[in-house]
C-alpha cells in the first residue's frame, strides 16, 4: 500500500483539558494571564539587558537576555493555539500545522537546553576562574555559543520531524495533549513504531538527561572547588536561580522524553509546567534573586518616567 493510500489523516483533534464550556472559559482567562505575564516578564528582561550598559556588557546577562527570548518563543509555539482551543469546541489542527508546531517546539526546546548548559559553564568560569572570566567569556564566544545552541536545536528537531513525517497516519486522530508533540502524535501512526520510538527516546531523552547531568555536575564542581564558607554562600546565591530554572525545565522534559511513549494521566499537567509555567516563572526567579537586574529595572523605569515627563512639558 503506497503512502497516499495510508496517509489519510489530514487533521488531528487536540484533547484539551475539559469538555465543559464554563471550565474551558475559566482556563482561557487563567492561561491568558500566564501568557501575558510571560511576555511582560521576558520582554522586560530583554529590554533591561539591552539598555543597561553594565548588564549588556556582562556575558551572564547577555545569555540571560537570550534565554528570555527563547522562553518567549517556546511559550508562543503552543499557548496561542491553546487559548484559541479553549473557545473552540472542535480543537482541530491540520496535519501540516501539527508538524510545524512539533518542529518549532523541539527547535526552541533543545536550544534552551543547550543554552542553559552554556549558562552553567559561564557560572563555572566566573566563580572558579574569575581573573580570566572576561577573557574566556568574550562577546564573540558568547555569540558563537548562542548560535551553536540554536543550531543544535535545529539539528535535533529536524531528526525528530523527519522520523515523524515518514510514518503513515490512517486511523485515530485524537492527540492526547493540548499541542502536537512527538510522544502523543507517534502513538497514532498506523505502523510498528517500536524502533522509531527507541531512536526518538535516545535523541530527546539523551539530550535532556545528559544536559541535566552536565548542569548539576558543573554546579557541584563549583561548590567543591570553593573552600571558604563565605565563598560557598555567594556561589549558592549566584547559582541558586540557575538551579531552580534547570529543575523546573529539565525535570518535566526528562519525565516526558526519557521513557517509552506510554501515556500517564499526569502528562498534560507536566506539559503545562514546562510549556506554560516555566517560561513565566524564569523572569521572576532571575529578578527576585538578582539585585543587579532589579536595580537596572528601577533605573530603566526612572529613566522612562523622566522621558515621559519631559514629553508632557
β-bridge mates for residue 14, sequence order: 175
* Coil/strand/helix, residue 93: strand
- Give me the sign of the Cα torsion angle 79, 147, 216, 227: negative
- Would you state the cell numbers that stand for residue 241, as one nine-digit string? 536561580
Backbone angles phi, psi at 147, to 5 degrees: -65, -40
Q: Which of 94, 103, 107 is nearest to 164 (CA)?
A: 103
What is 11-296's CATH topology?
Answer: Rhopdopsin 7-helix transmembrane proteins (1.20.1070)
Q: Are 162 and 186 in contact (CB under 8 A)?
A: no
Which residues fall within 8 angstroms of residue 14, CB to CB, at 6 or more apart? 81, 85, 91, 92, 93, 174, 175, 177, 178, 179, 180
Residue with cell string 505502523: 191
CA 278, CA 110: separation in Å to the nearest integer?
15
What pTM was estimated for this model as a whole? 0.87
Sequence spans of domains, the chain: 11-296
- 256-267 burial by CB neighbour count: b if 16+ within 10 A, else e? bbbeebeeeeeb
- Give me the sign of the Cα torsion angle 267, 272, 273, 278: positive
pLDDT at 83: 92
CA 32, CA 248: separation in Å to the nearest integer?
21
* Coil/strand/helix, residue 302: helix
pLDDT at 138: 92
Across the beta sheet with 92-94, what order do the strands follow?
92-94, 11-14, 174-175
What is the tens place of the pLDDT at every residue in 73-83?
Answer: 999 999 999 99
- Would you state the cell numbers that stand for residue 135, as one nine-digit string? 577573557
What is the tens place of the pLDDT at every residue in 115-170?
Answer: 999 988 998 888 888 888 889 999 999 999 999 999 999 999 999 999 999 888 88
Q: Which of 182, 156, 179, 187 is nearest to 256 (CA)?
A: 182
Digits of tens for pLDDT over the chain (313 positions)? Answer: 444 444 477 889 888 787 788 888 899 999 999 999 999 999 999 988 888 888 888 898 899 999 999 999 999 999 999 999 998 888 899 999 999 999 999 999 999 999 999 988 998 888 888 888 889 999 999 999 999 999 999 999 999 999 999 888 887 888 888 899 988 898 888 888 888 888 888 888 888 888 889 888 888 888 787 777 777 777 676 677 777 778 888 888 888 888 776 666 677 888 888 889 889 988 888 776 677 777 777 777 776 655 545 555 4
CA 102, CA 111: separation in Å to the nearest integer?
14
CA 313, CA 190: separation in Å to the nearest integer?
69
Amino acid at each position: 500500500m503506497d503512502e497516499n493510500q495510508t496517509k489519510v489523516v489530514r487533521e488531528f483533534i487536540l484533547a484539551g483539558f475539559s469538555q465543559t464550556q464554563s471550565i474551558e472559559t475559566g482556563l482561557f482567562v487563567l492561561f491568558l494571564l500566564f501568557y501575558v505575564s510571560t511576555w511582560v516578564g521576558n520582554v522586560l528582561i530583554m529590554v533591561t539587558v539591552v539598555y543597561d550598559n553594565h548588564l549588556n556588557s556582562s556575558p551572564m546577562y547577555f545569555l540571560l537576555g537570550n534565554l528570555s527570548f527563547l522562553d518567549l518563543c517556546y511559550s508562543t509555539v503552543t499557548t496561542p493555539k491553546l487559548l484559541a482551543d479553549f473557545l473552540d469546541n472542535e480543537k482541530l489542527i491540520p496535519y501540516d500545522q501539527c508538524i510545524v508546531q512539533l518542529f518549532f517546539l523541539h527547535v526552541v526546546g533543545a536550544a534552551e537546553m543547550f543554552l542553559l548548559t552554556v549558562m552553567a559553564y559561564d557560572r563555572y568560569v566566573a566563580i572558579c576562574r574569575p581573573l580570566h572570566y572576561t577573557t574566556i567569556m568574550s562577546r564573540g564566544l558568547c555569540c558563537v555559543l548562542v548560535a551553536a545552541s540554536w543550531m543544535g536545536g535545529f539539528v535535533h528537531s529536524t531528526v525528530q520531524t523527519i522520523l515523524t513525517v515518514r510514518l503513515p497516519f490512517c486511523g485515530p486522530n485524537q492527540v492526547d495533549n493540548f499541542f502536537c508533540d512527538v510522544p502523543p502524535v507517534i502513538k497514532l501512526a498506523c505502523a510498528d513504531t517500536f524502533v522509531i520510538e527507541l531512536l526518538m527516546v535516545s535523541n530527546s531523552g539523551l539530550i535532556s538527561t545528559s544536559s541535566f547531568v552536565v548542569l548539576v555536575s558543573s554546579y557541584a564542581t563549583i561548590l567543591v572547588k570553593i573552600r571558604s564558607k563565605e565563598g560557598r554562600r555567594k556561589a549558592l546565591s549566584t547559582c541558586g536561580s540557575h538551579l531552580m530554572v534547570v529543575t523546573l525545565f529539565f525535570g518535566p522534559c526528562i519525565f516526558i522524553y526519557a521513557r517509552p511513549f506510554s501515556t500517564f494521566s499526569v502528562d498534560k499537567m507536566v506539559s503545562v509546567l514546562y510549556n506554560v509555567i516555566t517560561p513565566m516563572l524564569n523572569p521572576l526567579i532571575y529578578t527576585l534573586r538578582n539585585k543587579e537586574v532589579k536595580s537596572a529595572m528601577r533605573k530603566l523605569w526612572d529613566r522612562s518616567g523622566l522621558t515621559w515627563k519631559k514629553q508632557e512639558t
